[in-house]
Structure 1
């Protein structure tokens, strides 16, 4: 219950879905949690505080450099430190699957802005605070799709492939400051958003299940253990790596 005791964690996109699962799990292990999201995360923050941990919701557009910097400064001022950044905010479940030549360019740009620019901007915002203490954990959330080339979602697949290389580059640049950077890559998770997107769920569920060594649906709670491993000192000498959690659909 104390793997994250006295740690301060920022979870982007933590107002709902898998991000909220991350926030609750980190708090349950003793972390104080800041939720950075364009959606209202005050209910999740209140829930965490009711459980005995400090929490803070900061409305943040992760693509906006000024908002990200203000968010990091707010967390630093409130909690006195930033130990972990979970770059979870992303566009996925709201997307409609379609051939690549039918993807609207504005939608492509929006996916790239949130899914790639967002983690870059947020990592840059927290880096000075982490460098000052010679300690930090940055966890970038990718996906199993870059390993498969999942059709019908080229913008999403491309963006999550970029996260793999973003992680490696950041790990090289930040290692000398005691900051570890790793990627968590979930498979198809039955999150709130996926359940609501019936077309996506119906298209992907059967082939994904067939490809898995462990023949069951993946739930948000399946990601808690791997996330805590990467966020805690259990992974202290690990950086630049990608941990795929998908029931054995992808093995690399």
Structure 2
């Protein structure tokens, strides 16, 4: 997990306004890919709720966006806690009166140490599942009423391409991210009659600037060599797909999983 004093890359914004007027909650948006999602959504015209367990980082991101002339505010949230997820949505409704988009990005990954599955403690297993899978469920459940009230909207769940390769030594993480795909498909069926789309993104290995056990130079070189695109992926490579799925251009796309891993896996 990044420290509060860790240098973060500058937020980049583009001219597209595909999300004009939409209110978007993005979890895990205080750092890493979520932070770039927040900037991309704001640049596309959305009013962004920067939600993160680290409220200080969340407010830092929100303040940068408002300082750049965008609409944003921050909420501290533990996605694995039912009441915290509900409070996040309540704060959004109080501030903006609507929710149009939920991006379930919050997850435990960088803090994990690679280890054989039979060395993963039951408590560590539960914590990863609680945040990476149950957290998605709780946030979706908390926002469902607001999306129905709005008469439509978008849910974008962040899975991982580690599911496709069955990456070893991260069994709890891979299992949770596989569950996100199943949740996405079933929820798309349940919310489709309310004109709510539910889709998943499967990022590959992305350089977020956050140190992690699996991103040693030799491992990164092997990952890049296995991709069709022989370059390190950046958060901006993922953000464009998220903006598209949240936009009206993707209103007929639901229950789908889009792999963004530089061509490591083909579906």
Match of 1:13 among 28, 32, 36: 28
**Contact map agreement 2:100 2:150 (CA 8 A) in 1:** no
Residue in 2 that maps onto 1:251: 266
Question: Shift in Å at residue 105 of structure 1?
Answer: 1.3
Residue in 2 that maps onto 1:169: 186
Residue in 2 that maps onto 1:49: 66
5+ long unaligned stretches in structure 1: none
1:250 partner SS: coil
Could you tell me how far apart the structure 2 residues matched to 1:153 and 1:98 are?
7
Where is the helix percentage greater, Structure 1 or Structure 2? 1
Could you tell me how far apart the structure 2 residues matched to 1:105 and 1:211 are?
33
Q: CA RMSD in A?
A: 1.0
Question: Shift in Å at residue 104 of structure 1?
Answer: 1.5
**Residue pairs, 1:63-212, within 5 angstroms:** 63-193=80-210, 196-197=211-212, 199-202=213-216, 204-212=219-227
Could you tell me how far apart the structure 2 residues matched to 1:204 and 1:116 are?
26
Question: Shift in Å at residue 206 of structure 1?
Answer: 2.9
Consecutive aligned runs of 4 or more in structure 1 exceeding 6 Å deviation: none
Equivalenced residue count is 249
Residue in 2 that maps onto 1:241: 256
1:200 partner SS: coil
Residue in 1 that maps onto 2:48: 33
5+ long unaligned stretches in structure 2: 1-15
Could you tell me how far apart the structure 2 residues matched to 1:83 and 1:183 are?
16
Q: When the two structures are superposed, what TM-score results if normalisation uses the length of structure 2?
A: 0.91
Residue in 1 that maps onto 2:11: none
Q: Spell out, residue by residue over 1:110-165, the C-alpha distance to the aligned partner (whole angstroms, 9 max, x if none).
A: 00000001010000001001101211100000000000000111110101000000
Could you tell me how far apart the structure 2 residues matched to 1:109 and 1:130 are?
29
2:123 partner SS: helix
Could you tell me how far apart the structure 1 residues matched to 2:209 and 2:81 are?
26
**Contact map agreement 2:233 2:262 (CA 8 A) in 1:** yes
**Contact map agreement 2:23 2:100 (CA 8 A) in 1:** yes
